[in-house]
Amino acid sequence: MRNIWSTEHTNRTRILVSEWVGMRAIESNPKGLESIHKDIQVRFEDLGFTVNLDYNEEAPYRPLITAIRESNPEGKWLGFWGHYDVEAADESEWKSDPWHMTDVDGRWIGRGVGDNLVPLAQRLILFEQSDPSVNIAYFLQGEEEIGSPYAEQRYGSLETPPIDLWIEETGYFYKDGRQRFMILNQNPLLGRVLEKLQTILEEDGRSWTVRHRSLNKAFGADRCPCLNHLLKNTPYLAIGPNDDHCSVHGADESLDPKLLSICAKQLKGVIEVMSS
């Protein structure tokens, strides 16, 4: 597979995520949530997506975002979900300002880099070169860190395209370099996708493990509106650049940008399988 992720792409991701981290997109800072959701909306629209904002009258600064790009009426649908809000941060516990992304020992440090601003930024950048034969739907909320009250209310009646595969907000790499695939509702399509991803890992000298479960949720999987209302019986896959050192929700949250290259290859691989 040709190199689809360059140093320039990594630098663009760093700049974008630095901007987002600085917005402080937490519930106690409505201006930050408003700023980040407007920025995300524009970026999706610039990529040819049709964007719908579902406003909660009690908290209009954090609407639910639905971004749809149907480029092939006969093509498969790849669905994504995630969130644009981040966990609050106790600055006294951090070695650096959590709202100013820094680079320490090759890792990006800042609140939300792992959960899940970097994965979202990378996907937006990759959508610039994605295969138009595959349709894409992206569902984002700005209240995941407070338990998704409005998403739980609205996602139950949400009309979605006929999604063939759902991709979670991120995934996981172990300290030894292995990748953990989390899957649900396996079928032949997901089987082919896993084969493709495993081949990419082998080429990179990595191994993997498969877990038949969803990504961990701070409020529990049973309270995740995406799992409860969007997933249904559709195949599900959690992949992305998080690793054992991320410290999601903890002090000095970080992410290794060196993992972006293989994650880009994998997302490209998913789309290749779905387009065949």
Contact predicate 171/180, CB 8 Å: yes
Question: Residue 21 belongs to a domain with what CATH number?
Answer: 3.40.630.10
CA 201 to chain CA centroid, Å, is 20
Answer whether residue 45 is part of any domain.
yes
Instruction: Provide mean pLDDT across the span 110-123.
Output: 97
Rg (CA), the chain: 17
Task: List, for residues 189-210, the tens digit of each pLDDT value.
Answer: 999 999 999 999 999 999 999 9
61-88 in b/e burial notation, b at 16+ Cβ within 10 A?
Answer: bbbbbbbbbeeeeebbbbbbbbbbbbbb
Task: List, for residues 41-67, the tens digit of each pLDDT value.
Answer: 999 999 999 999 999 999 999 999 999
Q: What pLDDT score was predicted for residue 222?
A: 77
Q: What pLDDT score was predicted for residue 218?
A: 72
What is the rounded CA–CA span in Å between residue 69 and residue 132? 9
**148 Cβ contact list (under 8 Å, min separation 6):** 141, 219, 223, 224, 225
Count of domains observed in the chain: 1
Task: List, for residues 202-248, the tens digit of each pLDDT value.
Answer: 999 999 999 999 998 777 667 899 999 999 999 999 999 999 999 99
Q: Does pLDDT of 20 surpass 60?
A: yes
Q: Does pLDDT of 250 surpass 70?
A: yes
Q: Does pLDDT of 116 surpass 70?
A: yes
Answer whether residue 1 is part of any domain.
no
DSSP conformation letters of 23-71: T--STT-HHHHHHHHHHHHHHHHHTT-EEEEE--TT-TTS-EEEEEE--
Average pLDDT score, the chain: 96
In single-letter form, the type of residue at position 256 comes to: D
Q: What pLDDT score was predicted for residue 131?
A: 84
Answer whether residue 95 is part of any domain.
yes
Band of the pLDDT at 157, cuts 50, 70, 90?
very high
Q: What pLDDT score was predicted for residue 1?
A: 45
Domain around 249:
7-275
In single-letter form, the type of residue at position 2 comes to: R
Q: What pLDDT score was predicted for residue 130?
A: 82
